[in-house]
Structure 1
Amino acid sequence: MDVIKRIDNLMKEQEWSDYKLAAESVLSSSTIANIHRRNTVPSIPTLEAICSAFGITLAQFFSDNNFTVQLNRDQLDLFTQWIYLTDNQKKLIYQLIKEMK
């Protein structure tokens, strides 16, 4: 996958400039400029920040299918917190959510 092309496509979908991506991802303008001008593939932490700005996960970024679910910041935060839970905690939360239906 061409990571830079994928970032460009996401920017076009959102009608974002380099400046807007930098502001939304809380990255420096020079970091975003280097990605485009120097064809520099971003590091994983930089790519995570970019994905967060677009409201997608890294898995969605690298997904081959064109179907992506846009996550708002609260949803993204929940998924991020989920990663740090133990298996038992995940099971309990999942059961709680199922009971709320």
Structure 2
Amino acid sequence: MNIGERIKNLRLNKNFKATQFAENVGISRVYLNEIERGIKIPTIETLQKICDALGITFSEFFSTGEDTINPEYLELVDNAKVLTHKQLKILNEFLKALKEKNDNE
């Protein structure tokens, strides 16, 4: 799942303009654009704010239309819930670096 594409598709399906949506989430329009284009990965906290602004739950965001969510995603989210802001930032940077490494292979 491409998180940025998912955010953009959900936002457009609800007819939210990017500038107003970013303001509702509490992020800049530039940062929202970078997330939607896959340049930046939002923190868990920012993703939760995005879900709130979309009127959906975290589970709904990660739902692929199937009855269940991949258990590994649920485990990742559950583990991330107890992390501090600094730890979340480190985790996101690690995941981003891992993704970039995989993209380059």
One fold, TM greater than 0.5? yes
CA contact (8 A) 2:19 2:29 kept: yes
CA RMSD of aligned residues (A): 2.1
Runs (5+) with no aligned partner, structure 2: 67-105
Runs (5+) with no aligned partner, structure 1: 67-101
Deviation at 1:34, TM superposition (A): 2.1
Question: Helix, strand or coil: the match of 1:42?
Answer: coil
Instruction: Output aligned runs, 1:20-39, within 5 Å.
Output: 20-37=20-37, 39=39
Q: How many corresponding residue pairs?
A: 67
Deviation at 1:40, TM superposition (A): 1.6
2:14 maps to which residue?
A: 14
Using CA pairs under 8 Å that are at least 6 residues apart, name the structure with larger relative contact order, 1 or 2.
Answer: 2
CA contact (8 A) 2:5 2:37 kept: no
Cα distance between partner residues in 2 of 1:38 and 1:5: 8
TM (norm. structure 2) is: 0.55
CA contact (8 A) 1:27 1:49 kept: no
Structure 1 outlier segments of 4+, above 4 Å: none
Cα distance between partner residues in 2 of 1:48 and 1:17: 19
Cα distance between partner residues in 2 of 1:2 and 1:38: 8
2:41 maps to which residue?
A: 41
> Does the C-alpha gap of structure 1 residues 25 and 65 become closer, same or farther in structure 2, counting only changes over 3 Å?
same
TM (norm. structure 1) is: 0.56
Letter in 1 for 2:34: N
Structure with higher Rg: it is 1
Instruction: Report the more deviating stretch, 50-59 or 34-43.
Output: 34-43
Deviation at 1:36, TM superposition (A): 3.2
